[in-house]
Amino acid sequence: MMILEQLFQFLLTHWILSAALLLVIILLILDESQNSLGRGRISLQDATILINHQQGVWIDLREIDLFNQGHINHAFHFPEAKIMTQLAKLKKYQNTPMILVDHSDTQASQTIANQLRKQDFKQVHVLGGGMRTWIDAKLPLKKTSK
């Protein structure tokens, strides 16, 4: 009982720290729940499973120069700056798992994923770590001649 009294006293004395800790815990729980619902980043292994078993598609968001230097085989190129203006081309993948890939998993790719979800795309994911993850895993790249 003494420990509970000390904990309660600490919480009252340091209520700002306690509130900050509670906020951090809530944010971590929310972030984790979003990831588990397909609302966040996806691992390379999980992305590959979606591609191979559910006929998912890779969407490369990088600029054309980086795309031409090396991209995932069969990836579609939709530059980050133009993807929302090219929704008509993406509509046929509306109910298909889409894995968005940028250079290194920037916030912009997550923003695009959220925008696509608002346009009723059902399964949009972002590859955690972006192309850096693919390259670090020493997976093959396809180069496009200019």
Sheet arrangement for strand 41-42: 41-42, 124-127, 98-101, 57-60, 76-77
Other residues' Cβ atoms within 10 Å of the Cβ of residue 20: 11
Residue 121: name the closest of 133, 112, 129, 130 by CA: 112
| pLDDT band, very low/low/confident/very high, at 11 (cuts 50, 70, 90) | confident
- Residue 108 pLDDT: 85
Question: What are the E-state strand segments in 1-146?
Answer: 41-42, 57-60, 76-77, 98-101, 124-127
- Residue 33 pLDDT: 66
Kindly report, residue by residue over 56-104, the tens digit of the pLDDT. 999 999 999 999 999 999 999 999 888 889 999 999 999 999 999 998 8
- Residue 13 pLDDT: 92
Contact 58, 51 (CB under 8 A): yes
Candidates 3.30.470.20, 3.80.10.10, 3.30.1180.20, 3.40.250.10; CATH matching 40-136: 3.40.250.10
Tell me the pLDDT of the chain averaged across its residues. 88
Return the half-sphere exposure (C-beta side, CA atoms, 13 A cut-off) of residue 90.
32
Residue 37 clears pLDDT 60, i.e. is over it: no
Residue 87: name the closest of 121, 123, 51, 40 by CA: 121
Residue linked to tokens 């588990």: 36
Which helix H or strand E contains 39, and what residues bound it? none
Question: Longest C-alpha distance within the chain, in Å?
Answer: 73
- Residue 40 pLDDT: 67
